Amino acid sequence: MSNNTIDGKIIVITGGTGSFGKQFIQYTLQHYKPKRLIVVSRDELKQKQLRKKYPEESTPVRFIIGDVRHKEAMFNATKGADIVIHAAALKQVPLCEENPTEAIKTNVIGTMNVITAAIENNVERMMLISTDKATNPANLYGSTKLAAEKLTISMPNAKQNDGDFKVIKTKCSVCRYGNVVGSRGSVVPLFREQAKSGKVTITDERMTRFWITLEQAVAFVHLSLSKMQGGEIFIPKIPSMKIMQMVEALAPGAQVVITGIRPGEKLHEAMISREEAPYASEYEHNFVIRPLTPNTVDTFGGKACAHDFYYASDINQDFLSVPQLIEILKNVH
């Protein structure tokens, strides 16, 4: 399909060898015609493996070893780019709790480096990939992603530089969504492995989560890229699932062992807080939180959310059934 936002453009994706990155590359090449797709990551082994699938001689994919913690590396990686997708992050909640300095360096300072590099290189669009854990965060991972979101939607508006005003050409926005089915660290591979022993561990049987497939997440990012004006947070309408139904789908008949909620873990996740609701608008398939500044207006023609609206996994209008989960999981490896 044709897309003027993507076709003929140079796209950079940080964290490009991760679960989202690999799906983004595949989806983009299947549906669009970018001039170049530059994969930036610090994992040389994964880059080596990915190069076999996308050889530089016959595809528009290019590879750069680079760490978002290094501003100069990000400046060099984004030079000449039209679009930057920032997906690099430390994502494991327990590991971020145990290594707070490392999480801040990657998720906060790294995001600042990517945004700064994009602005300095006059990149047209920069999109941060975020998470529902950034909404009223209860752990360090969520807090770093909230900080990353604030940087993304605020930095382009901070136009004063050493007393002079600089015109910022780069549009910066955020895609915020829930747990990705089958991504690294998800419960899917864990439950499948535990099912072999006939015993599955969960932290609390009441737990609910938003759920989205990798392909849906990538498609939503592409849609948001085509609509962004700068400063928005795009949120998809996606179903919730109950943790006990996930156990039934992945490990039917297994013994369930309750281990207790881990530090920083929530019973339920939210994607729009009540504090954000006055700035949120609803559409057929998604929500948009407008820039959190006075007198902002909805430029997309959506329906304003009620001021006390709250979009959370436990009160979602759409829950996946066990048969639906089983069907979805057939395509998750």
Coil vs helix vs strand at 126: strand
Active site residue 171: no
Q: Are strands 240-242 and 280-282 parallel, antiparallel or unpaired?
A: unpaired
Which listed residue (9, 22, 91, 133) is catalytic? Answer: 133
Q: What are the E-state strand segments in 8-153?
A: 10-14, 36-41, 61-65, 83-86, 125-131
Q: What are 281's strand-pairing partners? A: 288, 304
**What would the two tokens of residue 208 be?**
């609910």
What backbone phi and psi angles, to 5 degrees, belong to 154? -105, -35
DSSP collapsed to 3 states, 276-293: CHHHEEECCCEEEECCCC
Q: What are the E-state strand segments in the chain?
A: 10-14, 36-41, 61-65, 83-86, 125-131, 160-161, 164-165, 171-177, 179-180, 199-202, 208-212, 233-236, 240-242, 255-258, 270-272, 280-282, 286-289, 303-304, 311-312
Q: Which residues are known catalytic residues?
A: 133
